[in-house]
């Protein structure tokens, strides 16, 4: 697994690895490494050299590369979709995003507890799904990451 | 004695501020700097200030810092709070949108418990996550989770709601069982106000009361309606109401505010706040207070 000093760097490293076609999965760290708002990137050990190359190219060197001894915590992977008249609300973990189906405009973001949530809401609410930045480009916490998952699902729900 | 609200605001360059604030329409003035009341801690602050005015009590104070998710503002705020604990003559503190960090959490909790008078402690959002993960949840007087966060509190191993196992799609129906599990696992504050389609007030793992009406489904997607509920309960506790009563009146007043505003899911919390004084007065009357 790859360890970083902040969740924001984990989010950027995961994006870089995905873009490079490397299979990488975000998970919760083992108990002795938990501090509060944490995640690590799990990857196949056989790909370590390639992973290090991609991250070095993007100037995202990890704090540590460690071998996973136990099962890592799995992120929530189910979505809850609720229709509210012309609006659809999608929840992923503790984050909710609501879109007006008529014009694909994000009308509300709620839930969460980390400090990037109100910031992300300010950046996204009022924009259409096409105009809005992906939460992963601005988010730095687990709540921000959960909002990315909800954003991806609401895009699937509101395909033009 | 006043009450202190502790949280962050979504502006990276917003400096650390500790003191009183005033509400001006859809903005607050903290010192001379305006702050938009859209959601998050500013929504909690605005609600608590409006409710305090309606209740005729001293306005709460706030300790806030700008933080857009890097955790830097939260860390500055934690350091300032630890340093200033000695002059914490507050009746209570409400902790809100803050980067969950167990080390800082523990320093603050131990500092507060070392005071001659331990203030009442309320936690919501990120600080509630840290409180649960610290293993000291039971040292708090009140947590205000939603149903999803209740599943997180009930899950012994989850360090954050993002990793909650099970219950995910049925948590609304399983709230009573989750409340008991969180209590049995020592992951619950002494009281809980669980926000949801039905609001539950609980103590020591047992449900004391439920608030179901008025039911305004459009409130769920509106960002900040959980923050207004925490703001209401903050003001009612500051007014000296016992925790179960404060929770019940707050839940009812929040629902009445929604009912009076008659929102659709595109409303913002600032659209609702104008109805708050009327909603709180009505809730107090209905509850016979």
Q: Do A108 and B169 touch (CB under 8 A)?
A: no
Burial class (CB in 10 A: 0-12, 13-18, 19+), A57: exposed
Which chain A residues touch B129 with a CB distance below 8 Å?
36-37, 113
Of A91, A108, A142, the CB nearest to B160: A142
For residue B167, name the pLDDT band (cuts at 50, 70, 90).
low
Interface-testing mutation among B8, B38, B223, with chain A (most A C-beta atoms within 10 A): B223
CB contact under 8 A, B69 and A80: no
For B62-103, how does the pLDDT look when each residue is reduced to its tens digit (9 = 90+)? 999 999 999 999 999 999 999 998 877 899 999 999 999 999
Whose CA is closest to A21, among A45, A51, A64, A63? A51
CATH number (2.40.128, 3.40.50, 3.30.70, 2.60.40) of A2-65 reads: 3.30.70
Q: Which residues contact B192 (CB under 8 A, 6 or more apart)?
A: B142, B143, B144, B145, B150, B179, B182, B200, B201, B202, B203
pLDDT of residue B247: 98
Contact B146 A93 (CB under 8 A): no
| Number of residues written out for chain B | 289
Give the pLDDT score at A5.
Answer: 84
Judged by CB atoms closer than 8 Å, whether chains meet at A84 and B218 is answered as yes
Higher pLDDT, B202 or B148: B202
What is the rounded (10 degree) CA torsion for B265, B273, B129, B251?
A: -90
The tally of CA atoms less than 13 A away on the side-chain side of residue B89 is 3
Helices vs strands, H then E, count in chain A: 5, 8
Q: Do A36 and B168 touch (CB under 8 A)?
A: no
Q: Which two tokens stand for residue B258?
A: 């929604």
CA distance linking residue B223 with residue B147, whole number of Å: 15
Contact yes or no for B69 and A8 at CB 8 A: yes
% of residues, chain B, pLDDT over 90: 83
Q: Is residue B154 part of a domain?
A: no
Supply the pLDDT for residue A44.
85
pLDDT for B166 equals 61
Looking at residue A32, its pLDDT comes to 74
ipTM of the complex model: 0.93
pLDDT, one tens digit per residue, over A88-133 is 999 998 899 999 999 999 999 999 999 999 999 999 999 999 999 9
**For position B195, what pLDDT does the model report?**
95
Higher-confidence position of B289 and B227: B227
What are the Cα distances from residue B28, in Å, to A92, A152, B25, B49, B88? 31, 34, 8, 10, 23
Radius of gyration of chain A measured on its C-alpha atoms: 17
Q: Compare CB distances from B100 to A114, A116, A145 and report the shortest one's residue.
A: A114
- Give a yes or no: residue B8 inside a domain: yes
Contacts of B220 in chain A (CB under 8 A): 82, 89, 96, 110
Task: Give the DSSP H or E segment for A108.
Answer: strand A105-111
Q: Is B201 contained in some domain?
A: no
Which pairs with CB-CB distance under 8 Å and at least 24 residues apart come from B23-27?
B23/B49, B23/B50, B26/B270
User: Could you tell me if B48 and B4 are in contact, meaning their C-beta atoms sit under 8 angstroms apart?
Assistant: no
Query: Residue B258: which domain range?
Result: 3-137+221-286
Q: Any idea where the domains of chain A sit in the sequence?
A: 2-65, 79-157
3-state secondary structure of A70: coil
How sure is the predictor about B169, in pLDDT bands with cuts at 50, 70 and 90?
low
Q: What pLDDT was estimated at residue B177?
A: 93
B119 assigned to some structural domain: yes
Interface test mutation site (partner B, options A14, A105, A114, max chain B beta carbons within 10 A): A114
Shortest Cα distance, chain B CAs vs residue A56, angstroms = 22
Q: Which CATH number fits domain A79-157: 1.10.3110, 2.40.160, 3.30.390, 2.70.98?
A: 3.30.390
- One fold for both A2-65 and A79-157? no
Beta-carbon count within 10 A of B207 CB:
15
For residue A86, the SS3 value is coil
Check whether B122 has a pLDDT greater than 70: yes
B170-208: pLDDT as tens digits: 678 899 999 999 999 999 999 999 999 999 999 999 999
Confidence at residue B101, expressed as pLDDT on a 0 to 100 scale: 93
* CA pair distance B140, B195, nearest whole angstrom: 18
Mutation to test the A interface, candidates B38, B105, B162, B270, most A Cβ within 10 Å: B162
Residues 6+ apart with CB under 8 A from B256: B214, B275, B278, B279, B280, B282, B283
Residue-level pLDDT at B168: 55
Q: Contact A107/B266, CB-based, under 8 Å?
A: yes
Facing residue for A78 by CB, picked from B105, B162, B169: B169
Q: Closest residue of A to B103, CA-based?
A: A35
- How many other CB atoms are found less than 10 A from the CB of residue B32? 5
* Record: contact B39-A78, CB cut-off 8 A: no
pLDDT at position B214, please?
Answer: 97
Q: How confident is the model at residue B133 (pLDDT cuts 50, 70, 90)?
A: very high
Interface A-B: count of C-beta contacts within 8 A:
178
Q: What is the mean pLDDT of each run of 10 residues along chain A (160 residues)?
A: 87 90 86 76 86 92 84 78 95 93 97 94 97 92 92 91
**Taking CB atoms and an 8 Å cutoff, what residues of chain B touch A36?**
99-102, 105, 129-130, 133, 159-160
Residues of A in contact with B71 (CB under 8 A): 6, 37, 115, 140
Partners of B93 in beta bridges? B4, B121
The Cα–Cα gap between A145 and B38 comes to 21
Q: What is the pTM of this model?
A: 0.91
Inter-chain CB proximity B100 and A36 less than 8 Å: yes
Domains of chain B: total: 1
Please report, for the domain that includes residue B80, its CATH number. 3.40.1190.20
Contact A91 B40 (CB under 8 A): no
């Amino acid at each position: 697994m790859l360890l970083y000093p902040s969740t924001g760097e984990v989010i950027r490293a995961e994006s870089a690895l995905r873009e490079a076609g490397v299979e990488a999965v975000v998970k919760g760290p083992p108990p002795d490494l938990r501090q509060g708002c944490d995640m690590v990137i799990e990857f196949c050990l056989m790909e370590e050299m390639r992973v290090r190359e991609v991250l070095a190219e993007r100037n995202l060197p990890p704090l540590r590369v460690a071998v996973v001894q136990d099962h890592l915590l799995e992120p929530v992977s189910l979505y809850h979709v609720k229709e509210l008249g012309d609006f659809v609300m999608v929840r992923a973990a503790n984050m909710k995003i609501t879109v007006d189906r008529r014009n694909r405009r994000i009308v509300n973001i709620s839930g969460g507890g980390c400090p990037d949530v109100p910031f992300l809401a300010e950046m996204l609410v009022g924009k259409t799904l096409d105009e809005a930045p992906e939460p992963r480009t601005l988010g730095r916490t687990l709540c921000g990451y959960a909002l990315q998952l909800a954003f991806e699902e609401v895009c699937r729900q509101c395909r033009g | 004695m006043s009450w202190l609200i502790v949280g962050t605001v979504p502006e990276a360059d917003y400096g650390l501020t500790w003191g009183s604030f005033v509400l001006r329409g859809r903005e607050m003035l903290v010192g001379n700097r305006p702050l938009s009341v859209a959601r998050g801690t500013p929504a909690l602050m605005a609600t608590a200030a409006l409710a305090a005015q309606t209740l005729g009590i001293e306005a709460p104070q706030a300790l806030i810092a700008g933080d857009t998710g890097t955790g830097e503002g939260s860390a500055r705020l934690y350091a300032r709070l630890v340093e200033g604990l000695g002059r914490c003559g507050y009746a209570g503190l409400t902790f809100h949108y803050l980067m969950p960090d167990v080390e800082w959490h523990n320093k603050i909790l131990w500092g507060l418990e070392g005071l001659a008078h331990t203030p009442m402690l309320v936690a919501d959002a990120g600080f509630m996550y840290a409180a649960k993960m610290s293993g000291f949840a039971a040292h708090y007087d009140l947590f205000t989770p939603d149903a999803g966060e209740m599943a997180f509190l009930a899950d012994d191993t989850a360090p954050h709601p993002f990793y909650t196992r099970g219950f995910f799609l049925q948590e609304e129906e399983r709230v009573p069982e989750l409340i008991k599990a969180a209590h049995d696992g020592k992951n619950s504050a002494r009281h809980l106000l669980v926000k949801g389609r039905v609001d539950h007030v609980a103590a020591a793992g047992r449900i004391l009361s439920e608030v179901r009406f008025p039911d305004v489904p459009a409130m769920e997607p509106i960002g900040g309606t959980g923050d207004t509920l925490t703001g209401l309960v903050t003001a009612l506790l500051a007014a000296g109401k016992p925790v179960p009563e404060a929770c019940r009146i707050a839940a009812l007043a929040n629902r009445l505010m929604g009912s009076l505003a008659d929102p659709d899911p595109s409303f913002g919390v600032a659209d609702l706040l104008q109805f708050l004084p009327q909603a709180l007065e009505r809730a107090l009357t209905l509850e016979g207070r």
